[in-house]
């Protein structure tokens, strides 16, 4: 994602934004492309399935990327997108769950054919796996509504605050790398707390134990419009996100071709519009995009 949110998403409580989960069916009308199906490895064509390693998203705190309805149905932008890709290719996903730190190693060792968990492409990751891009995300800040600042554009804007993020992510890496910048600027250091789930982060923002969440742009913009008592503060960088496959796997190009087919038919835009995040998609899917860190 490249564009920063403006004041329109300054908090659900102030804006009266609906917390309703979108339910439009944006997948069933997607058509299988026989030519793209023929690109799949013979073993996949024979079995009709691709093993997908991902992270189970419980409840709705992980939306728009992923979540569950009260009856246990998987929902979210990532879910719609991968299901649409499967329809284009005429296969189904064998979905298996790991944790964020274990999915990429699972792809490397062959446990999963494909990994998907909002993985940003980085130089280090591209040395060990291939990326097929399907959206642009970034690194952004979500603040408590009562925070004295209304915008943040860099790591030093966090100085003196209690910051929450997820472990084993690029956000942790950026906070670790930037830890010395506050002292260099003559300011108090920020304190970092790590949470594997966003629900306790929302609670911390509400009760004053957390001042700012550092996380993915797409999710934080969505949260600012749906979580009372929060406000979107801004973005510090942009990162391409993609499906992860083993180095040299033929699936990387096939997945890219499938995403590009969805872009060409307009089905891709429908998925992003459903989840209220237009402008965060890619113009075209590529394998192993240029990285910024």
Query: Among all chains, which residue has been given the structure tokens 């998925």?
Result: 271
- pLDDT-derived band of residue 19, with 50, 70 and 90 as boundaries? low
- Give the Cα separation of 58 and 49 in Å (integer): 24
* Residue 5, in any domain of the structure: no
Tell whether 150 and 172 lie within a shared domain: yes
Tell whether 121 and 245 lie within a shared domain: yes
Tell whether 118 and 144 lie within a shared domain: no
Tell whether 71 and 144 lie within a shared domain: no
Tell whether 162 and 73 lie within a shared domain: no
Domain total for the chain?
Answer: 2
- Give the Cα separation of 230 and 213 in Å (integer): 10
- Give the Cα separation of 274 and 270 in Å (integer): 6
161-219 pLDDT, tens digit per residue, is: 999 999 988 899 999 999 999 999 999 999 999 998 888 999 999 999 999 999 998 89
Tell whether 146 and 111 lie within a shared domain: no
Indicate whether 279 pLDDT > 80. no
Work out whether strand 92-98 and strand 74-75 pair parallel, antiparallel, or are unpaired: unpaired
Indicate whether 127 pLDDT > 70. yes
Tell whether 42 and 129 lie within a shared domain: yes
- Give the Cα separation of 67 and 56 in Å (integer): 8
pLDDT at position 226, please? 86
* Residue 23, in any domain of the structure: no
- pLDDT-derived band of residue 138, with 50, 70 and 90 as boundaries? confident
Quick one: average pLDDT of 52-78?
Answer: 91
* Residue 62, in any domain of the structure: yes
* Residue 17, in any domain of the structure: no
| 3 state SS for 146-210 | CCCCCCCCCHHHHCCCEEEECCCCHHHHHHHHCCCHHHHCCCCCCEEEECCCCHHHHHHHHHCCC
Answer whether 245's CB lies under 8 Å from 114's CB. yes
Tell whether 130 and 49 lie within a shared domain: yes
Tell whether 77 and 217 lie within a shared domain: no
* Residue 6, in any domain of the structure: no
Indicate whether 4 pLDDT > 50. no
- pLDDT-derived band of residue 241, with 50, 70 and 90 as boundaries? very high
Mean pLDDT, all residues of the chain: 91
Tell me the CB-side half-sphere exposure of residue 55, using CA atoms within 13 A.
18
Tell whether 193 and 116 lie within a shared domain: no
| 3 state SS for the chain | CCCCCCHHHCCHHHHCCCCCCCCCCCCCCCCCCHHHHCCCCHHHHHHCEEEEEEECCCCCCCCCCCEECCCCCEECHHHHHHHHHHHHHCCEEEEEEECHHHHHHHHHCCCCCEEECCCECCHHHHCCEEEEEEEEEEEEEEEECCCCCCCCCCHHHHCCCEEEECCCCHHHHHHHHCCCHHHHCCCCCCEEEECCCCHHHHHHHHHCCCCEEEEEHHHHHHHHHHCCCEEEEEEEEEEEEEEEEECCCCHHHHHHHHHHHHHHHCHHHHHHHHCCCCCCCCCCCCECCCCCC
Tell whether 249 and 131 lie within a shared domain: yes
* Residue 27, in any domain of the structure: no
Indicate whether 20 pLDDT > 80. no
CATH number at residue 247: 3.40.190.10
Bridge partners for 141 per DSSP:
214, 234
Tell whether 146 and 113 lie within a shared domain: no
Q: Which of 67, 237, 96, 61 is nearest to 166 (CA)?
A: 61
pLDDT at position 292, please? 78
Indicate whether 1 pLDDT > 80. no
% of the chain at pLDDT higher than 70: 94
- Give the Cα separation of 14 and 145 in Å (integer): 9
Domain that holds residue 95: 34-137+239-274
Last residue of a domain, one of 238, 253, 283: 238
77-103 pLDDT, tens digit per residue, is: 999 999 999 999 999 999 999 999 999
Indicate whether 231 pLDDT > 60. yes
- pLDDT-derived band of residue 59, with 50, 70 and 90 as boundaries? confident
* Residue 121, in any domain of the structure: yes
Quick one: average pLDDT of 2-8?
Answer: 27
């Amino acid at each position: 994602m490249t564009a920063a949110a403006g004041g329109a998403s300054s908090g659900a409580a102030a804006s009266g934004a609906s917390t309703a989960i979108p339910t439009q069916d944006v997948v069933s009308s997607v058509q299988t492309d026989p030519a793209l199906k023929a690109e799949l490895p013979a073993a996949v064509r024979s079995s009709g399935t691709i093993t997908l390693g991902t992270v189970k998203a419980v409840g709705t705190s992980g939306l728009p990327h992923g979540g569950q309805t009260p009856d246990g149905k998987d929902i979210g932008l990532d879910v719609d997108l991968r299901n649409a890709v499967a329809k284009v290719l005429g296969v189904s996903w064998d979905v298996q769950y790991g944790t964020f730190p274990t999915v990429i190693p699972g792809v490397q060792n062959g446990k999963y054919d494909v990994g998907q968990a909002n993985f940003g492409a980085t130089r280090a990751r591209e040395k060990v796996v291939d990326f097929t891009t399907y959206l642009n995300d970034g690194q952004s800040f979500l603040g408590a509504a009562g925070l004295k600042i209304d915008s943040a554009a860099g790591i030093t804007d966090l100085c003196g605050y209690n910051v929450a993020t997820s472990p084993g992510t690029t956000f942790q890496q950026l906070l670790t790398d930037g830890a010395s910048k506050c002292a260099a600027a003559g300011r108090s250091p920020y304190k970092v707390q790590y949470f594997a789930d966003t629900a306790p982060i929302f609670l911390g923002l509400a009760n004053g134990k957390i001042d700012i969440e550092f996380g993915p742009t797409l999710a934080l913009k969505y949260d600012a419009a749906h979580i009372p008592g929060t406000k979107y503060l801004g973005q510090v960088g942009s990162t391409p996100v993609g499906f992860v496959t083993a180095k040299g796997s033929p699936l990387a190009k096939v997945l890219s071709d499938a995403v590009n087919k969805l872009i060409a038919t307009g089905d891709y835009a429908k998925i992003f519009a459903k989840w209220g995040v237009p402008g965060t998609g890619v113009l075209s899917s590529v394998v192993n995009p240029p990285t910024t860190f």
